A = this chain, B = another copy of it.
Amino acid sequence: MTTTLHDTPRVRLDDPFWNAYRQLIREVVIPYQWEALNDRVDAAEPSHAIDNFRIAAGQRQGEHHGMVFQDSDVTKWLEAVAYQLAQAPDLALEATADEVIALIGAAQQPDGYLNTYFTVKAPAARWTNLAECHELYCAGHLIEAAVAYYQATGKTALLDIARRLTDHIDQVFGPGPEQLRGYPGHPEIELALMRLYEATDEPRYLALGRYFVEQRGQQPHYYDAEYERRGRTFHWPSHGPAWMIKDKAYSQAHAPILKQDKAVGHAVRLLYLYTGVAHLARLTGDAEQAVACQRIWDNLTQRQLYVTGGVGAQSHGESLTCDFDLPSDTAYAETCASVALVMFARRLLELSPEGRYADVLERALYNTVLAGMALDGRHFFYVNPLEVDPATLGGSHRYDHVHAMRQRWFGCACCPPNIARLLGSLEDYIYLQREDCLYVHLYVGSDLDCTVAGQRWHLRQRSAYPWQGRIDFELSGEAQSGTFTLALRLPDWCPAPGVRINEEAVEVAPLARDGYCLLRRKWQAGDRVELDLPMPTQRLRTHPRVRQLAGKVALQRGPLVYCLEQADNGVDLHNLSLPPTAHFHEIQGRAPLTQVVQLETDGLRWNGAGSPDQSLYRQDPASTQASPQRLTFIPYYAWANRGEGEMRVWVNER
């Protein structure tokens, strides 16, 4: 079942909702992150990431500072820059990037090795601690940046660096007698090698990625072998001696990929790994690996996914827990994990275009990923809980990982550049082109140039999504006519989608398949398609096994999950409830939420009257009287933009 992608379609994004984010990325996030990488942001933890390269390049004296994976902050920024340059020229930005690339090249060792931590701190310890030390992870991000920069600019300097590094890695790792049988503790290079292979057509890169994937979790275990070889030293002491080596499920190395049946361990590692596996499975046509990906996907999305598209229920190891365990207040739900979930979903769509993948992609993108960044583009959440009470945060260590307001930058600064590179490459997530079928996964205003069924077409998509559900498509281009399928995703949240072609209604149900409405016909230039996705406000409830959410509902309208905030509803949000019969009204937000559709309804406040009774437990039935209160819900992604306060997604229904 080998499937290959056809010509990459050319997409130009033009969308009222996303244009604002793209402007933020371009004008605020990328410049701000550049300042941060150079330690010029006050009140943020210093990064030292650029300095590390200077020191490794011999251009400066000093010590390495920061995490063992600090290099990746630079290459992720470069990748985000590449997407900017692909959208529009920016000579100054490109010049800065070229300087950074030259610096990276100067830090590369004669044999191709490239990692500032080991080069500066422990050159003899290269490749001795794959389980913990992120060398292959950093290589992966460098490769991703190189591919993106090459595709954006045509320049090969960074691609050449990446190829030299990859060639070095390809010599070091493999089944040969002199080679190491290892694989990364933090997956990332697998997905990067797939991109490098597609950019270069060099089959060694595909084979190397496949080796890493297939070697993973084999016995005798590589982590144990290298641990013994280096004299039982370990890098991360946080959870006890050598915990990261011993807890092999933490890095999804507890079993070979084909034997893994649940989503376990560090959420970002899991999702980067399976993004690579899904890509590999498509490129090689390996059916067993494809099934393995779908098995993990099913467990993750049907058993362990937050309604906001967040992944990872616990702070310990930034990791998944077990089926149906979804605490709202202690959630980890790292921004990067939702970015990675979007990437995994895209690879699965490319493997097998089914709407359920895009449904989750959309949920993660419009909720947790967007929540990761403030509306000012300068503050970021690493952790995305679904319930916050600032008064409790400082009081209990179980909230040590939770913040009530976004922070400027992080010592471990993975999330901000991950948001930048995802939102900067949103073009890659909207459409999927097959031989005679064009899939539309996301309703993002854009102009597509592509070749379908042998003919060039231009597709224009316009809407006021995610606020309104009407999406207009218009075909034009060189081709006067041609037969192919336009596959429009029917979102899982939409109860009654409607389609009109050239003003004429089409019956959707008979055309619906795997989450898409398959419009197959002889298309003409000038054809117009109107997709109508009614967006009623919906109450979501959970699977009955979810203990934490019994008796509670969350609101969703279109792709957006909503929440209550103290700014609109006062304190003690837990005392608010939604009667089963409540109706919702859409209202326009006020600054800074001007663009936002808010939801209002008649709710109840319980125990409201601030009883003078100081007792902790009462028999007084009067204390349970409820009084009417108008409730205002805002989209989850927009919370914590109006000062510190309580927030809550799941609300008692009573």
A residues within 8 Å of B by Cβ? 301-303, 305, 307, 313-317, 321-325, 327, 330, 389, 391-392, 394-398, 493, 495, 538-548, 550-551, 554, 572, 574-575, 577, 580, 606-608, 610-611, 613-621, 623-624, 652-654
Which residues from B are CB-within-8-Å of A325? 392, 395-396
Which residues from B are CB-within-8-Å of A545? 572
Query: Given A317-B397, A551-B606, do A616 and B542 touch, yes or no (CB 8 Å)?
Result: yes
Q: What is the minimal beta-carbon distance from A183 to any residue of chain B, in angstroms? A: 25
Which residues from B are CB-within-8-Å of A539? 619, 621
Which residues from B are CB-within-8-Å of A398? 314-316, 327, 330, 398
Which residues from B are CB-within-8-Å of A547? 389, 392, 572, 574
| Cα of A8 to Cα of B327 in the assembled complex, Å | 52
Query: Given A314-B396, A321-B395, do A301 and B550 touch, yes or no (CB 8 Å)?
Result: no
Query: Given A544-B623, A617-B307, do A395 and B322 touch, yes or no (CB 8 Å)?
Result: yes
Contact of A301 among B551, B616, B621 (CB under 8 A): B616
Given A301-B616, A543-B615, A543-B618, 17 new contacts (CB under 8 A) = A302-B616, A314-B396, A315-B398, A321-B396, A322-B391, A325-B392, A327-B398, A541-B620, A541-B623, A542-B617, A544-B608, A544-B611, A547-B572, A550-B575, A551-B606, A551-B652, A554-B617
Which residues from B are CB-within-8-Å of A620? 541
| Cα of A389 to Cα of B322 in the assembled complex, Å | 12
Let me know if B313 and A396 touch, CB within 8 A: yes
Which residues from B are CB-within-8-Å of A324? 392
> Please, could you name 5 A-B residue pairs with CB atoms under 8 Å apart, sorted by A?
A307-B616, A314-B396, A314-B398, A541-B624, A624-B653
Contact of A615 among B302, B317, B323 (CB under 8 A): B302
Contact of A396 among B302, B322, B550 (CB under 8 A): B322
| Cα of A619 to Cα of B535 in the assembled complex, Å | 13
| Cα of A6 to Cα of B395 in the assembled complex, Å | 43
Let me know if A544 and B396 touch, CB within 8 A: no
Which residues from B are CB-within-8-Å of A394? 322
Let me know if A302 and B614 touch, CB within 8 A: yes
| Cα of A540 to Cα of B617 in the assembled complex, Å | 6
Q: What is the minimal beta-carbon distance from A459 to any residue of chain B, in angstroms? A: 31
| Cα of A546 to Cα of B652 in the assembled complex, Å | 14
Query: Given A550-B652, A574-B550, do A541 and B395 touch, yes or no (CB 8 Å)?
Result: no
| Cα of A92 to Cα of B8 in the assembled complex, Å | 89
Among A389, A547, A623, residue most surrounded by chain B Cβ atoms (within 10 Å) = A547
Nearest-CB residue, chain B, relative to A395:
B322
Which residues from B are CB-within-8-Å of A577? 551
Nearest-CB residue, chain B, relative to A615:
B302
| Cα of A580 to Cα of B621 in the assembled complex, Å | 10
Q: What is the minimal beta-carbon distance from A388 to any residue of chain B, in angstroms? A: 10
Let me know if A303 and B606 touch, CB within 8 A: no
Nearest-CB residue, chain B, relative to A325:
B392
Which residues from B are CB-within-8-Å of A546? 616
| Cα of A307 to Cα of B616 in the assembled complex, Å | 8
| Cα of A574 to Cα of B327 in the assembled complex, Å | 13
Which residues from B are CB-within-8-Å of A606? 544, 550-551
Q: What is the minimal beta-carbon distance from A266 to any residue of chain B, in angstroms? A: 12
Which residues from B are CB-within-8-Å of A615? 302, 543
| Cα of A616 to Cα of B543 in the assembled complex, Å | 5
Which residues from B are CB-within-8-Å of A624? 541, 580, 653
| Cα of A360 to Cα of B325 in the assembled complex, Å | 34
Q: What is the minimal beta-carbon distance from A255 to any residue of chain B, in angstroms? A: 17
Query: Given A392-B321, A540-B619, A541-B617, do A397 and B572 touch, yes or no (CB 8 Å)?
Result: no
Query: Given A398-B316, A550-B652, do A544 and B305 touch, yes or no (CB 8 Å)?
Result: no
Among A548, A608, A654, residue most surrounded by chain B Cβ atoms (within 10 Å) = A654
Nearest-CB residue, chain B, relative to A327:
B398
Which residues from B are CB-within-8-Å of A619? 493, 495, 538-541
| Cα of A544 to Cα of B618 in the assembled complex, Å | 10
Which residues from B are CB-within-8-Å of A541? 607, 617-620, 623-624
Which residues from B are CB-within-8-Å of A493? 619
Nearest-CB residue, chain B, relative to A545:
B572
Nearest-CB residue, chain B, relative to A394:
B322
| Cα of A642 to Cα of B592 in the assembled complex, Å | 57
Let me know if B392 and A575 touch, CB within 8 A: no
Let me know if A616 and B397 touch, CB within 8 A: no
Which residues from B are CB-within-8-Å of A391? 322-323
| Cα of A608 to Cα of B545 in the assembled complex, Å | 10
| Cα of A601 to Cα of B540 in the assembled complex, Å | 30
Query: Given A302-B614, A542-B616, A606-B551, do A397 and B574 touch, yes or no (CB 8 Å)?
Result: no
